[in-house]
């Protein structure tokens, strides 16, 4: 009996294909190339997010369909698409990103990554390898800046991967909806997995979208122009002109490559109406604001994990004269009083 192939979320639109096993020996994979793998051993990832968003358990011997991609995650894995064909790969992200791991957080060294063996590439009737990014390329729009002028945009950024910026974004969305505003959410950068979009949708967002909608298994190592095109495309995709606000989240911390690239790019920042900066503790809050000031950005407000501690809030208030909001305050819409005017620089 033919084995059932468990299709990961990034491959959700793949229906007609056949598997070419010969290409494994000589084709050098590129980001977005789709392949079928056999699970060799289970490590960090015990499930993959399926085409239907359900987290499907995987076991040694299972076959999965996934796409090649990169990953930058300080709390998890650093992984790449190598310039050589290999027979064994690792799961980089549960949404279906596969590559070669270069480093991992120490907490995973005892279990390691989930190991995969390459079976073959998914190809079309002409024998061409299916690619998630290439499939969506005709829909990508060139950046003009027009889309970001259609609505007010609030940018949620953080000091690190786990600083609380997604929770901050979701509670901003909740506060906006509570006050009667049509609100969208975009996860602009990161590694494919729907958790962040789902959380914002559950908090009331009228529409959500992320980079995977345009076939990106991840955005790590994308060029600036590609990110700007993606920004424009996603805003148009969610019909930004029909929304009062769009909350946009950028993954990881201020020093991450794509985050820093966007924050220092005037074409991107000129369309942002307010920045909310999340931090994990008082030191990262204070130093993060100083880093943003060096980028000519003054946050409208601070939030994040540190706001769970009254003592940490007190420490930050002693160093900074900026509004600080807990998630409960964001959820009531208190931020609205600060974002009625466009973002100003500190120059």
| pLDDT the model gives residue 337 | 87
Q: Is-contact 305 283, C-beta < 8 A?
A: no
Confidence band for 338, pLDDT divided at 50, 70 and 90: confident
Using the predicted structure, report yes or no on whether residue 347 has a pLDDT greater than 60. no
Q: Which tens digits make up the pLDDT trace of 245-289?
A: 999 999 999 999 999 999 999 999 999 999 999 999 999 999 999
**Which residue has 């409960």 as its token pair?**
328
SS3 category, 72? strand
Residue 279: its H or E element: none
Confidence band for 2, pLDDT divided at 50, 70 and 90: low
Cα-Cα end-to-end distance for the chain: 68
pTM of the model: 0.95
SS3 category, 27? coil
- CA distances, 47 to each of 40, 60, 189, 198, 248 (Å): 14, 12, 22, 18, 28
Q: Can you tell me the mean pLDDT for 42-53?
A: 97
Other CB atoms closer than 10 Å to residue 310's CB: what's the count?
9
> What letter would DSSP give residue 212?
G
**245-249 vs 5-7, strand pairing mode:** unpaired
Output Rg (C-alpha) for the chain, integer angstroms. 21
- CA 60 to chain centroid, in Å, comes to 28
Q: Can you tell me the mean pLDDT for 157-165?
A: 95
- CA distances, 257 to each of 58, 72, 223, 230 (Å): 32, 9, 10, 16
CA distance 249 to 205: 13
Confidence band for 50, pLDDT divided at 50, 70 and 90: very high
Ordered by start, the domain boundaries in the chain are 5-131, 140-338
Say what the alpha-carbon torsion angle 278, 332, 235, 71 is, to the nearest 10 degrees.
Answer: 30
Confidence band for 340, pLDDT divided at 50, 70 and 90: low
Using the predicted structure, report yes or no on whether residue 312 has a pLDDT greater than 50. yes
Tokens describing residue 19? 């598997």
| pLDDT the model gives residue 346 | 39
Q: Identify the CATH number of the domain defined by range 140-338.
A: 3.40.50.300
Q: Which tens digits make up the pLDDT trace of 203-221?
A: 999 999 999 999 999 999 9
């Amino acid at each position: 009996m033919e084995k059932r192939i468990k299709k990961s979320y990034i491959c959700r639109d793949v229906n007609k294909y056949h598997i070419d096993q010969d290409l494994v020996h000589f084709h050098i994979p590129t980001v977005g190339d789709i392949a079928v793998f056999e699970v060799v051993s289970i490590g960090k990832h015990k499930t993959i997010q399926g085409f239907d968003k359900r987290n499907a358990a995987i076991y040694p011997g299972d076959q999965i369909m996934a796409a090649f991609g990169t990953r930058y995650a300080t709390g998890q894995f650093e992984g790449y698409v190598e310039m050589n064909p290999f027979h064994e790969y690792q799961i980089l992200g549960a949404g279906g990103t596969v590559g070669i791991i270069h480093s991992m957080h120490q907490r995973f060294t005892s279990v390691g990554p989930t190991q995969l063996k390459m079976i073959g590439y998914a190809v079309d009737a002409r024998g061409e390898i299916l690619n998630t990014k290439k499939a969506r390329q005709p829909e990508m729009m060139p950046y003009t800046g027009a889309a970001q002028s259609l609505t007010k945009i609030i940018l949620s950024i953080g000091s690190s991967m786990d600083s609380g910026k997604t929770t901050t974004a979701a509670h901003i969305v909740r506060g906006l909806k509570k006050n009667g505003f049509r609100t969208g959410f975009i996860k602009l950068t990161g590694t494919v997995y729907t958790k962040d979009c789902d959380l914002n949708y559950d908090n009331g967002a009228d529409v959500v979208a992320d980079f995977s909608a345009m076939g990106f298994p991840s955005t790590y190592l994308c060029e600036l122009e590609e990110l700007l095109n993606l920004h424009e495309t996603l805003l148009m995709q969610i019909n930004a002109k029909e929304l009062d606000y769009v909350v946009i989240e950028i993954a990881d911390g201020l020093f991450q490559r794509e985050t820093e690239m966007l924050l220092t790019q005037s074409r991107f920042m000129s369309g942002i109406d307010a920045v909310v900066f999340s931090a994990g503790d008082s030191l990262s809050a204070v130093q993060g604001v100083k880093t943003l000031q060096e980028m000519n950005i003054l946050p409208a407000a601070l939030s994040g994990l540190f706001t769970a501690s009254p003592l940490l809030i007190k420490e930050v208030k002693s160093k900074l004269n900026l509004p600080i909001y807990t998630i409960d305050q964001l959820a009531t819409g208190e931020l609205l009083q600060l974002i009625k005017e466009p973002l100003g620089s500190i120059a």
